[in-house]
């Protein structure tokens, strides 16, 4: 596409936690899925990183909204403002401007017709002329580099912010699909609750996210353990400042319940898989994608528990986004795109 093309092609991974936009195979936006609005007027003040910096620090006239909850649009107007703002940001100051957009958007595989319609409407209102959608596990498989149209079974576990998508893919279609609303946000909530119960320490979403990044683990014994992470915050009872070092073993215990639910969902999906495809999966292994795939020791834990080798994608955070970009280049070829 030239700089002055009347149609701009973009691929969007519309995630609960982060939204990634690619143009010409380059990531132009990788920012939190959040918008800040002025309460009096309802107008957007900031989107993405700028709005994320305001989260938890708002004055009474500013509200920060995460439009997507558990993989689906929870606030239609906020979603539209966020998509429009991020698409505008993606243009930067480089001078190219397109009056219409051709876009491919990644959506959860468990989406209902109403939820698919909400994504389509938001995308169209944000300037999309041709809007295509692709299920996230299919996009993740494309992003990893798997041949999704081959007569071979491939299993993807995409652990995002709001949902964990588990799918068996063969011949360009999803054969077995399991979508559960246990994912990155739930792990963050587990940490918030644990810090309150175990240490009487009040932490917000952003701090809990940092704890997860620095010492998040699925195992209580790691070969290369991270150093303890020091958390600062107010005592829940006295409001006096506290400083608490947190170890990866402690976080592994507090994440146990949610990770066990993900394990169970993977086993349920395998139970529903046809025998021939099951044999392929045992041979090829299972691929982990999404931000949750970066939890330390998760692949080893799942491999030991289920008995099938789990592989973490090379760049799990970007697997879905890169897959939507592949789909964008082949919209006429791929029959599995939702038009």
Answer yes or no: are the C-beta atoms of 296 and 211 closer than 8 Å.
no
Q: Give the number of other Cβ atoms within 10 Å of residue 237's Cβ.
A: 8
Tokens of residue 84, six digits? 């429009």
Q: Which residues of the chain have pLDDT under 50?
A: 1-4, 93-96
Look up residue 41 and give its two tokens.
Answer: 């007027």
Alpha-carbon gap, residue 22 to 149, rounded angstroms: 23
Neighbouring residues of 181: CB distance < 8 A, sequence distance ≥ 6: 70, 71, 162, 163
What's phi and psi for 6, nearest 5 deg? -75, -20
Q: Nearest to residue 127, comparing CAs of 103, 109, 145?
A: 103
- The predicted model scores a pTM of 0.88
Q: pLDDT digit string (tens) for 255-286?
A: 999 999 999 999 999 999 999 999 999 999 99
Phi-psi region of 98 (alpha: psi -120 to 50; beta: other; left: phi over 0): beta
Distance CA 180, CA 173 (A): 20
Q: Give the whole-angstrom CA distance, residue 320 versus residue 330.
A: 15
Residue 1: what pLDDT?
44
With CA atoms as reference, report the closest residue to 213 among 235, 187, 234.
Answer: 187
Please give the pLDDT value at position 6: 67
Q: Which long-range contacts (CB under 8 A, 24 or more apart) does 240-243 make?
A: 242/199, 242/200, 242/201
């Amino acid at each position: 596409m030239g700089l002055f093309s009347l149609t701009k092609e973009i691929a969007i991974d519309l995630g609960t936690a982060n939204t990634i936009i690619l143009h010409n195979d380059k990531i132009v936006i990788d920012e939190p899925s959040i918008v800040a609005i002025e309460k009096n007027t309802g107008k957007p003040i900031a989107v993405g990183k700028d709005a994320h910096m305001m989260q938890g620090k708002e004055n009474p006239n500013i509200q920060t909204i995460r439009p997507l909850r558990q993989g689906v649009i929870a606030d239609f107007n906020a979603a539209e403002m966020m998509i429009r703002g991020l698409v505008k940001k993606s243009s930067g100051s480089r001078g190219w401007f397109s009056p219409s957009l051709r876009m491919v958007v990644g959506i959860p595989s468990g989406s209902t017709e109403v939820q698919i319609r909400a994504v389509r409407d938001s995308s169209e209102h944000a300037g999309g002329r041709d809007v295509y959608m692709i299920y996230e596990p299919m996009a993740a498989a494309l992003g990893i580099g798997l041949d999704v149209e081959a007569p071979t079974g491939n299993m993807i576990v995409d652990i995002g912010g709001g949902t964990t998508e588990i799918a068996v893919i063969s011949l360009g279609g999803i054969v077995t699909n399991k979508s559960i609303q246990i994912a990155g946000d739930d792990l963050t909530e587990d940490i918030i609750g644990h810090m309150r119960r175990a240490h009487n320490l009040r932490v917000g979403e952003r701090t809990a996210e940092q704890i997860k990044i620095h010492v998040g683990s699925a195992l209580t014994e790691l070969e290369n353990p991270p150093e303890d992470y020091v958390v600062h915050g107010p005592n829940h009872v006295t409001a006096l400042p506290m400083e608490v070092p947190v170890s990866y073993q402690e976080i592994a215990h507090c994440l146990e319940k949610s990770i066990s639910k993900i394990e169970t969902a993977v086993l349920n999906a395998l139970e529903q898989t046809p025998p021939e495809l099951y044999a392929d999966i045992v041979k090829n292994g299972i691929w982990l994608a999404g931000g949750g795939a970066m939890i330390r020791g998760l692949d080893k834990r799942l491999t030991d528990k289920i008995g099938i080798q789990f592989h973490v994608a090379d760049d799990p955070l970007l697997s879905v986004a890169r897959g939507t970009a592949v789909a964008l280049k082949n919209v006429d070829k791929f029959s599995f795109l939702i038009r």
